[in-house]
Chains A and B, each alone.
Chain A
């Protein structure tokens, strides 16, 4: 019996970790959908947002004030990125844009550490990262309170985004741009504004992800590496699908934790670093465009 409970404990832990991956992947998806840019800087944006927020609160700012200011900074960053990096690179091949975002990653990493210093910070949001008592007493299952909280936040975020995309004017414009740039331009949607908005929204997602990851791992340079965790989620779920990011995150999180516990000991452990990629690759063999990605039809 305890075996089964242990299995479910690992599974739940993995699924909740997957939610965190999905949060980061979400930022990638938003930008890729709207502008076809594979934004490698998402990890740096997560780091930048978390570091800005934590530094402001450490200087005695009120929680909400710091949140709003950080959000404003992220929006500004999105607009500046669109203006300085993306606009001059319109019509370039995707790899060029991808390289530009790697350049942006360096700029952001340097900038955030230049402004706020490079020492790691702890972050507290008031939700302790401890197992929930009633669960562990009744079922002997250890699931962190904070994990559940972040799952709710992620769920809420997706709901908000869904409403934003389907019910608002800007959201519809965003979906139009994602479907077809030229058609969107033809009906009078200002492409460049849309890109700035998308980057701002991605900045907002990065802020949420940064706060949650910051509580878990501390706000430090290693936070930029969460982007690497999100990449297998992306190839699994498809670059264009918000749903895919969530489901992909859950699959990756769960399989990774299960593999670490049940397979890891046989090969010497530490397989978390690459197992997610292998899972994603195996999936790709059967569905090359990811679980929810758009099917690409080649024509000569």
Chain B
């Protein structure tokens, strides 16, 4: 009843092309933004802000990056964590070696470094596709981690290979508390998500999708294959790189190269699969699910052991978590292979007709 578009007429191209063509969507979006920017920092406690919401946003950004590459341009990649690692460690080095640069330009430069690495490891995509490409991107995963561990320059010759992210200072204003870091992350993620949304609606995005749907046909209609594929790798890696920098600066604080293992790459891949491949919103939904679910499982196992009055050993819990997590992924893939984004669409369709379904 509330979600009805009757009477909303579009009288200009700009209105017709809006990201949220429906008034209700726009209202919901701005309410969500207001809640995220104002209400959450006010009421959120330290644990929620620093251990749940900030990582959620960062992983959503990384998932968004992967979604640009895999969901829009159709190039499967298993090296996401490596690009995040490049972002994190290069941001550290830029801030360390060029302190006059400031944090935000350092993050951007770190993202550009990740993009350069992405282009190099995206080169095989010109020759191979599908799983061959996926396995080839694993080369990035192993090579980057090896290089970060082997060459002391990246970690500023710290003996343990661990770097401690510097304080975030922007124009003399220090971001110290969880709420401040959360707001910074949120602002960056929101901006980049908006940019991604618009980019994917532009000529570039349409070229990506053409390559994804059928690359031979795309090249026949004049889309330059090399430029498009490498651009997809570059943009995707840029997003992952910035996410990695935020991961180090706003979330972890101290980082070692092992933090960006293959496991993380898989987790981000799960996020886009469960959230929805080829959907900006899906990246956020998937990241939310994958971030929250282990926490929920942990809590649930606590309740269960409390209710049954038996102490469940830590190893058992973590193994059970693995099983349930894996099982749930299979379950989701079977029930809704197009992810949460598709469920959301279905819900909206239903809502449009509700309460008169005919």
Contact = CB atoms under 8 A, between A and B. Distances in A.
Of listed B145, B220, B262, B337, residue having the most chain A CB within 10 A: B337
A268 B150 contact: yes
A32 B328 CA distance: 24
Interface stretch (A165-173, A177-185, A278-286): A278-286
A299 B131 contact: no
B132 interface: yes
B48 interface: no
A110 B319 contact: yes
Contacts of B142: 273-274, 277
A199 B29 CA distance: 48
Interface string B272-298: 010001000000000000000000000
Contacts of A270: 146, 149-150
A119 to B, nearest CB: 10
B18 interface: no
B146 A102 contact: no
Contact of B132 (A84, A104, A284): A284
Interface stretch (A48-56, A205-213, A226-234): A226-234
A92 B323 CA distance: 23
Interface string B133-150: 011101100110110011
A77 to B, nearest CB: 14
A235 B132 contact: yes
A103 B146 contact: no
A284 B136 contact: yes
B330 A300 contact: no
A109 B333 CA distance: 19
Nearest to B217: A300
A92 B127 contact: no
A102 B322 contact: no
A239 B321 CA distance: 32
Contacts of B216: 298-300
B105 interface: no
Interface in A125-181: none
Interface residues of A, number: 52
Nearest to A271: B146
A107 B146 contact: no
A7 interface: no
Contacts of A273: 142, 145-146
Contact of B139 (A94, A102, A278, A289): A278
Interface in A100-127: 100, 102-111, 113-114, 117-118
Contacts of B131: 38, 94, 98, 239
Contacts of A106: 322-323, 325-326, 329
Interface in A188-240: 228, 231-232, 234-235, 239
B149 to A, nearest CB: 8
B81 to A, nearest CB: 14
Given A118-B315, A277-B142, A232 B135 contact: yes
Nearest to A87: B334
Contacts of B333: 89, 92, 96, 99-100, 103
- Chain B: interface secondary structure? helix
Contacts of A253: none
A88 B336 CA distance: 11
A100 B330 contact: yes
A231 B138 contact: yes
A280 B322 CA distance: 32
A88 B127 contact: no
B224 interface: no
Given A104-B326, A270-B146, A285-B124, A110 B214 contact: no
Given A110-B322, A110-B326, A298-B216, A95 B76 contact: yes
Nearest to A284: B128
Contact of B327 (A103, A114, A118, A281): A103
A186 interface: no
Contact of B124 (A92, A271, A281, A289): A281
A102 B76 CA distance: 15
A99 B124 CA distance: 22
A18 interface: no
B298 to A, nearest CB: 14
A249 interface: no
B132 A113 contact: no
Interface string B310-346: 0000011001111101111110011001000000000
B20 interface: no
A110 B321 CA distance: 8
A97 B326 CA distance: 13
Contacts of B337: 89, 92-93, 96
Contacts of A285: 124, 127
A269 B147 CA distance: 11
B327 A107 contact: yes
A235 B146 CA distance: 21
Contacts of A239: 131-132
A274 B320 contact: no
A96 B330 CA distance: 9
A284 B214 contact: no
Given A105-B326, A118-B315, A288-B127, A277 B136 contact: yes
A11 interface: no
B270 interface: yes
8 contacts: A100-B333, A102-B266, A104-B326, A109-B326, A274-B139, A278-B139, A278-B143, A300-B220
Shortest Cβ-Cβ A-B pairs, 7 listed: A106-B326, A110-B322, A277-B139, A103-B329, A110-B323, A107-B326, A274-B142
Given A102-B270, A113-B315, A269-B150, 19 more contacts: A84-B330, A94-B131, A95-B273, A99-B269, A99-B329, A106-B322, A107-B322, A108-B326, A117-B315, A234-B135, A235-B132, A268-B151, A270-B149, A277-B136, A280-B135, A280-B136, A284-B132, A300-B214, A300-B216
